[in-house]
Amino acid sequence: MTFIEKLSAAWTANNSLLCVGLDPDIAKFPAAIKTRPDPVYAFCKGIIDATADLACAFKPQIAYFAALRAEDQLEALCDYVRETYPRIPIVLDAKRGDIGATAEQYAREAFERYGADAVTVNPYMGFDSVAPYLEWKDRGAIILCRTSNPGGSDLQFLTADGKPVYQHVAQLVADKWNTNGQCSLVVGATFPDELAQVRRIVGDMPLLVPGIGAQGGDVQATVNAGRTSAGTGMMINSSRAILYAKPDQAAGEDHAKAARRVAADTRNEINRFR
């Protein structure tokens, strides 16, 4: 099954456009997990088990694992997702970008070492830096287009040949780079007008849309701007708002139950506007 087939099936099976981000920050873990020998694995596994029926994808952000020297725990988590929830795609958020020979190694890291279904890629170095990911015919390359951070405007909003750079990226990927039909774009929920522009340019191409939750993006505006005519087409990511949801102690919640509650609320809010 290709990345896009798997994603489409997960949209339907879980009636969800919610991508659950895995950004483990040990300082925010519950005390009982901090002292375990594999705290990153234990924390993320709890979140995965609590949200697997609510998510269309899981998105581990590699920097959080690497900073903790926990790449082995990321490998184990990816194995766990593939074995236990084989219908949920794994999107490795790595935002790599380098010359072709090095990009080949980054692609092997994402697709062989971690077994990811898709990986985020930086297009700044051009097509030959993206091509090695496209050699993996069934895997996804999710290319940065209009990122959710304020500084994304510094370059992505510059005008070149009469239109902003992010629109050139969307057009290039839609017209030329999407050789296997497995490409996707990153477009921030914090910029719904640009999200709507990108949707017009790329047709039904799936979009990874971070920026709701902790970054404050508006869910209704995001869904209105980014959904396809089928009411799908997006992996709307939320990480910190789900991972570190405050347990309702009166209701006997632990961190995983709190994460599930927020994930369910977010999935349902997205669905209200599809």
Ligand X SMILES: O=c1ccn([C@@H]2O[C@H](COP(=O)(O)O)[C@@H](O)[C@H]2O)c(=O)[nH]1
Active-site residue list: 95
How far apart (Å, rounded) are the C-alpha atoms in residues 53 and 41?
Answer: 19
Tokens linked to 72: 């082995």
By DSSP bridging, strand 183-187 and strand 91-96 are unpaired
Query: Closest approach of Cβ 23 to ligand X, in Å?
Result: 5
CB of 252 to ligand X, least distance (A): 26
Residues binding ligand X (CB under 6 A): 21, 23, 61, 93, 147-149, 186, 188, 210-211, 213-215, 237-240
Query: Shortest CA distance to 123 belongs to which of 183, 64, 179?
Result: 183
3-state SS, residue 85: coil
CA atoms within 13 A on the CB side of 54: 24
Closer to ligand X by Cβ: residue 39 or 211: 211
Least Cα distance to 59 among 218, 213, 199, 191 occurs for 213
Query: Quick one: 103 or 236, whose CB is closer to ligand X?
Result: 236
Cβ proximity to ligand X: between 66 and 230 the closer is: 66
Contact by Cβ (8 Å): 219, 269: yes
Q: How far is the CB of 215 from ligand X (least distance, A)?
A: 4
